[in-house]
Amino acid sequence: MNLADLNKIALAMVTSGKGILAADESSGTIKKRFDAIGVESTEENRRDYREMLFRSTEAMSKYISGVILYDETIWQNAKDGTPLVKLIEQAGSIPGIKVDEGTQALPGCPGELVTVGLDKLAERLKKYYERGARFAKWRAVIDIGQGIPTTTAIHVNAHALARYAALCQAAQIVPIVEPEVLMDGGHDIDRCYEVTQHVLRDVFNELYVQRVALEGMVLKPNMVVSGKKSPKQASVQEVAEKTVRLLKSTVPAAVPGIAFLSGGQSDEEATAHLDAMNRIGGLPWKLTFSYGRALQAAPQKAWSGKAENVAAGQRAFAHRARMNGLASKGEWETGLEKKVA
């Protein structure tokens, strides 16, 4: 493992004013999103859509530091035969790859899941590196509900995240470590804080045990927010203050940066929360974004599967990328949302 090179890539992933595009939706997830805009989810349509994003010169070169790809996408070529990973590189962005293989029910823990995909991961990482991937992503899912999460679910998922991270670094690939505490329930923000704190402490303990170099990774956590079904929704400022306080108490300063997931927040909510955190300042790590739906919902709608709408889709993508780029520097304002290029 060359830690200096891993650290260089990790720092580039959290470059000021830029963030990571999560374009790693599984075939099932992208189908749901295409269904919503009336587009058939064929391999060609998925290719054309992602090519549209990666050829969005303004967004990719100015605001996107890296792109997380799905297995199908990393092997695809653009219409003109150029590998999609090359389009990403040509835009000055870093190709990455989602390597987990989804979730399974966790035995003995009703209602809880464990992420799988460690078998043969070392071999897969070699092939992804050869294709151009320089970072990877693994998502662990922790739900909040009656009697959950259990210590078992938190520990098993933290252990798998750390094993994945160690394998990535051995393959000279920067791991994005993504423990997501879901915001789907009726819990309040303080319950989210409590569970996320437990999760992050366990994750960093496991990373230490498995000798993962913190300087060569990026953390992708949830923000501390109220559950979607909670009657009391926290304000933007409360989310920012509690998230920053939590991270300061759990995330070592050696970690180069934190790239938040949006987790079902609206486009503008995810941007506002990130901006408010960066306005607090005095942080030992960079705070940026690694958004999927919060970057893509607008361009998907603008594109709607039609070749004549490619430019409109790219404008919508560039706008959302710019808004989040500004938020990653604490320079976003609500009024800017109206000024679509």
Q: How many CB atoms lie within 10 A of CB 283?
A: 16
**How far apart, in whole angstroms, are the C-alpha atoms of residue 5 and residue 9?**
6
219: three-class secondary structure by DSSP: strand
Q: What is the dihedral of CA 268, 273, 274, 275, to 10 degrees?
A: 80
**Catalytic amino acids?**
178, 220
Separation of alpha carbons 113 and 108, rounded Å: 11
Q: Cis peptide before 221, with omega less than 30 degrees from 0?
A: no
Q: How far apart are CA 334 and CA 341, in angstroms?
A: 15
Contact 301, 317 (CB under 8 A): no
Rounded distance between C-alpha atoms, residue 83 and residue 276, angstroms? 38
DSSP 8-class letter at 66: E
18: number of Cβ within 10 Å: 26
Torsion of CA 121, 124, 125, 127, to 10 degrees: 170
DSSP states along 146-204? TTBS-HHHHHHHHHHHHHHHHHHHHTT-EEEEEEEE---SS--HHHHHHHHHHHHHHHH
